[in-house]
Structure 1
Amino acid sequence: MQKVALYIRVSTEEQKVHGLSLEAQKDALIDYAAKHHMCIVGTYVDAGVTARKRLGHRKELNRLLSDVEKGCIDLIIFTKLDRWFRNIADYYKVQEVLERNQVNWKTIFESYDTSTANGRLHINIMLSIAQDEADRTSERIKAVFESKRARGETPASMAPLGYKIINSKLLVNDETKQVAIDIFHYYDMHHSIAGCQRMARELHGCNIYEYTIRRMFDNTIYIGEFKGISGFNEPLISHQQFERIKKYREVRVFKNQLAAGRVYLFSTLLQCKECGHTLSAMYNINHNQYGDKEFHYYRCNQAVSTKKCPHIKRMNEQKLEQVLLEKLIQDLNKQMFHIESFHCEKKNRLNTTKLVNRLEKLKELYLDNLIDKDSYRIEYESITKQLQKSCITHSVNSIQKEFSDSNFIDLYNNFNPEEKKTFWLGIVDKIIVDKHLNIEVHFL
């Protein structure tokens, strides 16, 4: 049976005005797949996302493309072309991925043919019309928002912590304003977001996510400004404190960039069994008479920030590395065969030289102001991701060539941290860790 993926997208406005509900799309796609004897391998739903959103913001679409590259999908179906894309440039970026992996797409309520010049022209025309319609709608919405701001009304539907919206006006919320004020004061004194979370929980009984606090420190609403309009609302903190925190955070980001050489071997691979979230990579420094020693560990932030997950133990990176090596050695020949089978399929698809040349051309376009910063970033991330896969394939193949004549442990111990990380990314899909630090390894 043909392996088919269902893609569903609807923005909040479309669902409200046109009745393009997620349920209606899903029912139609499931019915179509059943009638044509297709095997549904996944459903990908971008809810409340417009088709003009940058590719990086359409999380389910990116998850779909990831599964395409893993070879899990033969065909993608959706109801209409405008559910897929409303702009030509992004359409062809995704189409390149699909063609490289020999995956087709089909609309169940429309008829398109990508195999002929006339068919491709028809798609371009329809995408141009959809793009123009989306741009006009965007301009109307921007005009409404500008009018609201000029009248001192907020276009937002949700107020930040410490505020409330009444009759489109942003007013101070007496019940939560002290929480927001205390978060700013605490960070100003102690420079710790984790400390802010702990203080809010212990002093006010509020569980606040780290991401929320980071957004607060960038939100000028707290000093009475909105989109460049001063005096838009009542401030909760002073300009001096806001700028002081901003400067400190800029210095901290710069220091983090300088420390970017720190390599976590298993970042993105570890998953909490209890809540399903990815474990965060952390480090600590032990001070003793023999000097300072840095060690790495992984923890579940849900257990730390919200106390909703029972997974409170930390996973030591060095111990995890030893356990994984033991598991790998137990069945090494089988794993190496699996690695070879997995990567040989992709070997001919990735041309490192071509990708490097594409990066150089992309840089030239950006320096010549032929593309904007956002477009440059999105394309840069896409190309470097492909380069990483190419490097992983090369690294693993090199290991296989040397393995027959070398002791595996000696070979592994000669790797630098970057090579070790590349090795694990090349053979491990995910590592599930439970609250007792038992692990379940899923190899690629």
Structure 2
Amino acid sequence: MSSAFLYVRVSTDEQALRGYSLPFQEKKLQEYCSLYKIQVIDIIREDHSAKTFNRPAWNRLMRSLKERHAACPDLLLFTKWDRFSRNASEAFATIAMLKRMGVMTQAIDQPLDLSIPENKILLAVYIATSEVENERRSLNVKQGIHEAREQGRWTSHPPLGYTYTYTCLGEKCLSIKEYEASFIETAFILIAANPKRSIQSIYEQLLAEGMQCSRSNFWRILQNPAYCGKVYVPAFDDKPSHFVNGKHTGIVSELLFKQVQQTLRSKRGQSGISESTNQKLILRGFVSCPQCGKRLTGSRSKGRYAHYSYYHCYRCKSFRIRADKVNQQFQNQIGTIVAGEGYTNIFHRILNSFLQQQQQDVARTKVVLSNSIHKLIDRIVKANMLQSTNEITVEDFLLIKADCESHIKRLAMDFQESKRQEKLAKVALKSTLKKLTNPGYFWATADILNKRQFLYLLIDQEIILSEHFKMANSLIWQAQMVYGVACQEVFRDAQRFNWVNELDSINQEMISEIILCEQSKNRTIDAQKAQYILDFMANMVLLILRITWPFFRKE
């Protein structure tokens, strides 16, 4: 009895809808083996393109055959030759290699006896047809993208600050996403207005205010001409690369964009956003000299046995202190501050409110995605009926089908991501609450960038360093009251963040609860000060949520 490996492969939803799904191929091959009494040793399932043989499942198969980890079969069976390969030159080489191992390849729907030389011409036709189809589709896509860019249309994923919308004519276009765009505009203004300020400090400030962006992406944003209304058109055929005016509205003016580019060119090569902040100088930018009040910088010095980091003053040049001792003292002090029981309950209610809102948003998103997928499937079915009655051509049907299935694949991925977010939201409450009520726990588990975001929110004024400095004196007054470290007699103006959720449904209840918390400590505050405390707590919740749970976003 002959033995065989069954190879089933699918790379797109289009193939699945055509009847090329993995279960369909597997069933067909099993029936073939049962009919011809061929023993099935193993089934190799692949979800990868056939442009090359660099495919995960295929690579595992070849390694096992070469190392003799798997029993060598007589046959490698698949349904059609385009399931095996869409690259003629690689296909012939692979067939020859398998033949040397004693394995014969065969497509059950397109059987060929490769011992007959003339059949190799048919094999070349089968595979080359698929290869040409791939290359033609790729060329059409490239030409379409080039033409769209020439017309000023954005063809990639929308950059931060933009989202895709549709015009009344059904055309897809970029529209400004106000919440994110405000951070982009602020970044350009801050850099142009303060050329000497480091990009890193501006980036950290915006993160603390709620911007969601990696450091590398932030740098790309600052150099992206899309933000001043331009679209880059790469070189194509004999045409050189150039810029065109985009159909979208720019977030910043062209003049402001050019000013920022000039500033960035002058900073290139200097330490900035591309340089990670020294882990041992984490408080740099937050501490000041006790003698002259100048903000301290930091550096490393080589000792007898190791390098040591120091905070020191460039102005008076007389103050210098070991960074590790200051950092440890700061960590010890932040580890002692804990929210009171009343404020812990308020943190819990705020956190519940945000997570419930997130879960409701996810549930709505899932319904919208599911409905959209069903509509696209209905459109394919309708197009198929029109094609079967010759009301549209086969080519038109395939174009409609390809367009719908590309959208279905993207929507399906979004649907799976929504399900993952729903699960994560359910486990976020306990760990996030502990970090909110005990900042020392958060400090011990966060990385350096997240710690600095935390400091931008928590620290109101620079810490005057001394041998026995008090970190609590530099906290904003709302934090001092929530964590019970001091009682401010003078309430400075509270900083308000434009990304605070006002929590309208429970706002007044919690304001009253905050007033009662302070009365229990023999302190009297009015509703406005209680609102400022609530705002601070909401910002704390959002910051910890976004740092700990990347799925959490506020649109």
Same fold (TM over 0.5): no
In our comparison, the structure showing a higher alpha carbon Rg is 2
Give the TM bin, normalised by the shorter chain.
0.3 to 0.5
Higher share of residues assigned strand: 1
Question: TM-score, with normalisation over the residues of structure 2?
Answer: 0.35
Q: Which one scores higher on RCO, CA 8 angstroms, separation ≥ 6?
A: 2
